Amino acid sequence: MNVDLARWQFGITTVYHFLLVPLTIGLSPLVAVMQTRWLKSGDQRWLRLSEFFGKILLINFALGVATGIVQEFQFGMNWSQYSLFVGDIFGAPLAFEALLAFFLESVFLGVWIFGRGRVSPKAHTASIWLAALGTNISALFILAANSFMQHPVGAVFNPETGRAELDGMGGFLKVIFSPTTLYAFAHTITASLLVAGSLIAGISLWWLVRRMNAGDTAEATNYWKPAAHFGLVTMLVSSLLVIGTGHFMGQHVGEIQPTKMSAAMGIYEGGEAHPLGLALTSTELGPDSVITLPIPGLESFAATNHFSGPDSYIPGTKDLQEQFAKQFGAEVNGMPVNYIPNVFVSFYSFRIMMGLGFASFILSIVGLAAIKGDKLPTSKGLAKLFIWTIPFPYIASIFGWILTEMGRQPWVVYPIVAEMGVKDSNQMVKLLTENAVSPTVLSAEIVISMLAFTLLYAALGIVWFLLVKRYAKEGINTNADYEVKPVDLKAEPNATLSFNY
Amino acid sequence: MELTFLQILWFILIAVLWIGYLTLEGFGFGVGMLIPIVSKNDRERRLALGTIGPHWDGNEVFLLTAGGATFAAFPAWYATMFSGMYTALVLILLLLIIRICALEWRGKINTAKWRNTWDTLHTTVAWLATLVWGVAFGNLVQGMAIEVGHYENGVFKAADPNAVDAALKAGDNHFLTGGFFSLFTPFTVFSGLVFLAIFATHGALYMAIKTRGEFSVRNMELAKKLTLVTVAGAAIWGLWANFAYSANALSIIPLLVAALAFIAAAFFAQQNKDVAAFFASFTAIAFAVVFVFLTFGANALKSYVNEKYNLTLVQASATSPTQTIMTIAAVIFVPIVLGYTFWAYKSFAARMAVENVPEKPAGLGPQVRAFETAK
C-alpha cells in the first residue's frame, strides 16, 4: 500500500518538477547568448529579446526551484530504506549539486535580475552565463545520481551492514562519469535545448506573422525574424542531437537494462531481425500482441545497430522473466515477482517520445523554409502550428522520464546485468522498490501530503501558465526609448535596483 | 567505534551550513514576517522586498546543501530524521514553495489585488515556516521517540536496548516511532515562539541597515522593542534547553556566547547602532546553532525513549571515501561560494530609501498591451 502511494507521490512530484526543468536548462544559455550578442555588438534588439525571453525564464525558474526542494527531501521522507541503502553513494551527488551548482545559479540569477546598473554590463552578462552554467552542472549531478539507480557502478555491497558503499574514492568518479550518466546528460541537455528552442521559435513565429498582418514589417524584420531564426536553428541542431544521443542511449539501455528495452520494444520472444512494433493488441505481452511494420529488422537496428544476423538479437520479456526469476528468486515475501516493467506504459511512452522527437526535427525544417531568404510569412496557420507544437518536446521529455523510471521497475536500484551469474546475487548492489519505502510513514500521511502537493501544484501550475502566456502576448515594446547605461555607483550611491517588485 | 576526524568535521560542516541558513534566511523570514507591520504603503513594501530580493534565493541554498551534506555524510541521520518528521517536513516544503512563488511572482502583474494576495501569502508563510523550524530544532535539542528495531507487517518490533549493536548488524534500523504529534511538547512549541522573536528582530535590524531615512528609523524603533523580547525568550529557552536536555557539558560555552551576543544586539539597538546590532544578532544566531548542535552531539539524533537507542554519528556515518571526496569538494568550493556570495552582497550594499523605489510597480498591467491591427 505504502509503496504504491509513495511511488505515485514520487511520480507526480518528479514529472511536475521536470515540466519546468528542461526550459530552465535550455533557455538560460539561450538568453545568455542573446545578451552576449548585444554586449558584443551594442545591438539593442538582442538586449530586448534577451529581456523578453528572460522574463519567461524567470517565471519558470521560480516554480522549478520551488518544486526542486521537494525532490531533495523526499528521498529521506518517503524512501528512507532506499536512502539508508545507497546513502553512501547517492547523497554525495546531491550535496555536490547544491554546493557547485545551486549556489552559482541562485546567487548570480539574483545579480542578473536586480543588478543591471549595479554591476558592469560585462559582469551582468557573465551573471546569466554563470546561472546557466549552474543549471547545467546541476543536471549533470542529478543525472549521475539517477544513473546510479539505473546502473549502480562505483559501489560494492557490504554484507556486514547490508548496504551499498562507495568503491573507494575512484568509485565516485565512476558514478559521475559513468557511460550511463554521460548518455543521459547528453540526451537531457539536447532535449532541454529543443524545449527552449521550440518555445523561442513558436513565440517568435507567432509574433512575426502577427506583426506582418498588422502591417508592421519593421518589427517583424528587426525583432521576430532573427529571433525565429535563432529558435529554429536551435531546434534543428538540438533535434538532430536528441535523436542521435537517443539512438546510442537506447542501445546502452538495452545492454544495462534488458527488461526495460524489451518492454519498450514490445518483444515477447527473443529473436533476430525484429520488425518495428507499431501498436499493442493487449496490455500484456504475448506471442502475437504487437502489430508491426513490415520492414524487417528496423527495431533491431534501433536497438543494436544491426538489421539482421546474430548481432541483431534482442531478448524477449518471456526469457528475461525466467532468467531474472532464476537469479533473484521467483517470489519475494511470498508474492511472485514480475521483473518486467509495465509493458503498455513502456511501449507507448517510447513511441511517443521518439515520434515527437522526429516531429520537432520536421517542424524546424518547415519553419526554416518559411523564413528562408527574404521571406516574411503571413500565414496564420503557420503561426498556430508553431504555437500548438511548443509542448511537443515537453511531452517527449516527460515520456522519456516515465520510460526511464517506470522501465526500471520493480527495481529501485537495477542490478548490473553484466555481473549476473558471475557474482552471488545476494552480494550485488540492487534493491527492489518495495523494500525502499519508509516503514514509519503512515498511509494517511502520504495521502494527505499527496493531496496537498497535487492541489498546490495545480494552482501554481495554472498561475505559471497564465503568467507565461501573458508575458508572451505582451511582446516587446519596440517604441520604448530605452538604452542601457552603466551607473556610476560612486557618483550615485543610491542607485535603484533594476527590478523593484 | 571511535568518532573519526572526518565524522567530526562533517558534523561541524553541517552545523556551519545550518548557521548559514538560519543567519541569512533568518532575516529573510523576518522581513517577510514584518512587512505588513513596518511598511505604510506599497512603495515601502517594495522597498522592504528589495532588501532581500537579490539574496534570498542564494541564502536558501544553504538549506539544500545542508540536506545534501547530511544525506551524503550521515545517511542514517538523513533517512531517520526525514522519514520520522514526515508531516512536519511536508508542511515546511509547502510553505517554502509558496514563499518562493510569492517572492518571484509578486512583481509580475501590476494590480493591487495581485500584489496583496502574494504579500499576504508571503507574510503568513514566513510566520508559519519560522514556527515550524523552531519546533523542529526544539525536537533535536529535546530528543525524539527514536527506537531501534524493525517493522513486521507494519508493526514495529523494538530491539532490546542492551543489544542494539547486534540488532543493527542483524538488519534493524533507527526509527522515529512517535509520529507527527509526538513532535509537539511545551518545550518544542516554546522553541517555535523563540524562533519567531529571534527572526523578527533579525529581520527588523536587517531592514534598518539596508535602508535610509524614515523607513530605516521605523525598523530600528521596532527592533529596540523586539530585541528585549528576544533576550528574555532566548534566555529562558537557553537555560531550559541546557539544563533539561543537553547531553554535553560543553554546550554551556556557545550558550554563553550567544547570550552575550543577544544582549549586545539589544544594547546596540537601544543606542541606534544598527550595523553593530545586526552583526551582534547574526553572531547570536550563529552561536545558538552551535549550542543546538552541541546539545545532541556526538549523536545525530537523541532518543528520549532510552539513550541506548540514540543514533550516534558513528552509526549514522557514511564510509570514509565518501566523506573524503566531500571534504575535497568543500575545501575547494566553499571559499569560492563564500567569495561570490560576499561579492553579491557587496554589489547591493548601498542603502536604499523609499525615493529609490520607482512609483510605478513592476509587472504588466491586467490588460494586454493594445496593438494597432491594420488588417
User: Cell numbers of A250, please?
Assistant: 537506447
User: Cell numbers of A194, please?
Assistant: 529543443
User: Quick one: pLDDT at residue B186?
Assistant: 94
Tell me the C-alpha distance between A189 and A16, whole Å: 18
User: Quick one: pLDDT at residue A270?
Assistant: 81
Residue B293 lies in domain: 5-145+191-355
CB distance from B330 to chain A under 8 Å?
Answer: yes
Whose grid coordinates read 554484507? A159
Q: Do B86 and A438 touch (CB under 8 A)?
A: yes
Using a CB-CB cut-off of 8 Å, the residues of chain A touching B319 are 88, 165-166
Using a CB-CB cut-off of 8 Å, the residues of chain A touching B73 are 91, 95
In A437-476, the residues whose Cβ lies within 8 Å of chain B are 438-442, 445, 448-449, 452-453, 456, 460, 463, 467, 470-471, 473-475
Using a CB-CB cut-off of 8 Å, the residues of chain B touching A94 are 67-68, 71-72
Burial class of residue A395 (count of CB atoms within 10 Å of its CB; 0-12, 13-18, 19+): middle
Tell me the C-alpha distance between A284 and A469, whole Å: 41
Torsion of CA B150, A3, B96, A396, to 10 degrees: 150
Say if residues B143 and B245 touch (Cβ distance below 8 Å). Answer: yes
Phi, psi for residue B365 in degrees, rounded to 5: -70, 170
In B92-111, the residues whose Cβ lies within 8 Å of chain A are 93-94, 96-98, 100-101, 103-109
Please indicate, yes or no, if residue B235 is contained in any of the structural domains: yes
Give the distance from residue B261's alpha carbon to the nearest chain A alpha carbon, in angstroms: 29
Please indicate, yes or no, if residue B365 is contained in any of the structural domains: no
In B302-321, the residues whose Cβ lies within 8 Å of chain A are 318-319, 321
At residue B61, the 3 state secondary structure works out as helix
For chain B, the straight-line distance linking the first and the last C-alpha, in angstroms and rounded, comes to 82
Q: Which residue of B has its CA nearest to A492?
A: B350
- Tens digits of residue pLDDT in B322-343: 999 999 999 999 999 999 999 9
Bridge-based pairing state of the strands A163-166 and A411-413: unpaired
Nearest to B257 by CA among B230, B225, B289: B289
Sequence-distant (6+) residues with CB within 8 A of B133 are B22, B92, B192, B195
Q: Do A103 and B361 touch (CB under 8 A)?
A: no
Q: Which amino acid is at A214?
A: A
At residue A135, the 3 state secondary structure works out as helix
Please indicate, yes or no, if residue A89 is contained in any of the structural domains: yes
Q: Do A470 and B341 touch (CB under 8 A)?
A: no
CATH code at position B128: 1.20.1630
Residue A93 lies in domain: 2-252+343-406+436-474
Residue to substitute from A1, A105, A500, interface B, most B β-carbons within 10 A: A500
Nearest to A388 by CA among A205, A192, A187, A193: A205
Using a CB-CB cut-off of 8 Å, the residues of chain B touching A165 are 319, 322
Please indicate, yes or no, if residue A322 is contained in any of the structural domains: no
* Number of domains observed in the structure of chain A: 1
Is the pTM higher than 0.80? The answer reads: yes
Q: Is the torsion defined by CA of B118, B120, B126, B131 positive or negative? A: negative
Give the distance from residue B199's alpha carbon to the nearest chain A alpha carbon, in angstroms: 22
Tell me the C-alpha distance between B361 and B349, whole Å: 22
Confidence of residue B189 (pLDDT cuts 50, 70, 90): very high
pLDDT greater than 80 at residue B368: no
Cα distances from A140 to residues A6, A134, A175, B70, B228, in angstroms, run 25, 10, 11, 20, 48
Contacts 24+ apart (CB under 8 A), B252-255: B254/B287, B254/B288, B254/B290, B254/B291, B254/B294, B255/B287, B255/B291
Say if residues A454 and A11 touch (Cβ distance below 8 Å). Answer: no
User: Cell numbers of A428, please?
Assistant: 550485488
User: Quick one: pLDDT at residue B374?
Assistant: 40
User: Quick one: pLDDT at residue A358?
Assistant: 94
pLDDT greater than 50 at residue B375: no
Please indicate, yes or no, if residue B366 is contained in any of the structural domains: no
Please indicate, yes or no, if residue A276 is contained in any of the structural domains: no
Please indicate, yes or no, if residue A302 is contained in any of the structural domains: no
- Tens digits of residue pLDDT in A45-91: 899 999 999 999 999 998 998 898 998 899 988 888 899 899 999 99
The full length of chain A comes to 501
Out of A149-163, A264-278, B113-127, B147-161, give the one with best mean pLDDT: B113-127
Mean pLDDT, residues B75-79: 92
Strands (E) across A228-283 are located at 277-280
Please indicate, yes or no, if residue A248 is contained in any of the structural domains: yes
The full length of chain B comes to 375
User: Quick one: pLDDT at residue A3?
Assistant: 84
CB distance from B333 to chain A under 8 Å?
Answer: yes
User: Cell numbers of B125, please?
Assistant: 508563510
- Tens digits of residue pLDDT in B229-288: 999 999 999 999 989 888 888 889 999 999 999 999 999 999 999 999 999 999 999 999
Please indicate, yes or no, if residue A226 is contained in any of the structural domains: yes
> Which letter does DSSP use for residue A168 in this model?
H
Using a CB-CB cut-off of 8 Å, the residues of chain B touching A215 are 374-375
Tell me the C-alpha distance between A51 and A469, whole Å: 16
Whose grid coordinates read 532573427? A226
Please indicate, yes or no, if residue A420 is contained in any of the structural domains: no
Among the residues of B4-111, which ranges form H helices? 5-38, 42-52, 56-73, 75-84, 86-105
CB distance from B169 to chain A under 8 Å?
Answer: yes
Q: What is the pLDDT along chain A (501 residues), one digit of tens a residue?
A: 678 888 888 888 888 999 899 999 999 999 999 999 999 998 888 999 999 999 999 999 989 988 989 988 999 888 888 998 999 999 999 999 999 999 999 999 999 999 888 888 899 999 999 999 999 999 999 999 999 999 999 888 888 888 899 888 888 999 999 999 999 999 999 999 999 999 999 999 999 999 998 888 888 899 999 999 999 999 999 999 999 999 999 889 988 998 998 888 888 888 887 878 888 877 777 777 778 777 778 888 888 888 878 888 888 888 888 888 888 888 887 888 889 899 899 999 999 999 999 999 999 999 999 998 888 888 889 999 999 999 999 999 999 999 999 999 889 999 888 777 666 777 888 888 888 888 888 888 888 999 999 999 999 999 999 999 999 988 887 766 666 665 565 655 556 787 888
Using a CB-CB cut-off of 8 Å, the residues of chain B touching A448 are 87, 90
CB distance from A87 to chain B under 8 Å?
Answer: yes
CB distance from A58 to chain B under 8 Å?
Answer: yes
Give the distance from residue B239's alpha carbon to the nearest chain A alpha carbon, in angstroms: 32
- DSSP percent split of chain A into helix, strand, coil, nearest 5: 70, 5, 25
Please indicate, yes or no, if residue B159 is contained in any of the structural domains: no
Please indicate, yes or no, if residue B167 is contained in any of the structural domains: no
Whose grid coordinates read 541521520? B77
* Number of domains observed in the structure of chain B: 1
Tell me the C-alpha distance between B84 and A458, whole Å: 27
CB distance from A171 to chain B under 8 Å?
Answer: yes
Please indicate, yes or no, if residue A288 is contained in any of the structural domains: no
B154: left (phi over 0), alpha (psi -120 to 50) or beta: left
More confident residue, A33 or B166: A33
Torsion of CA B100, B102, B107, B111, to 10 degrees: 170
Say if residues B37 and B222 touch (Cβ distance below 8 Å). Answer: yes
Q: Do A110 and B76 touch (CB under 8 A)?
A: no
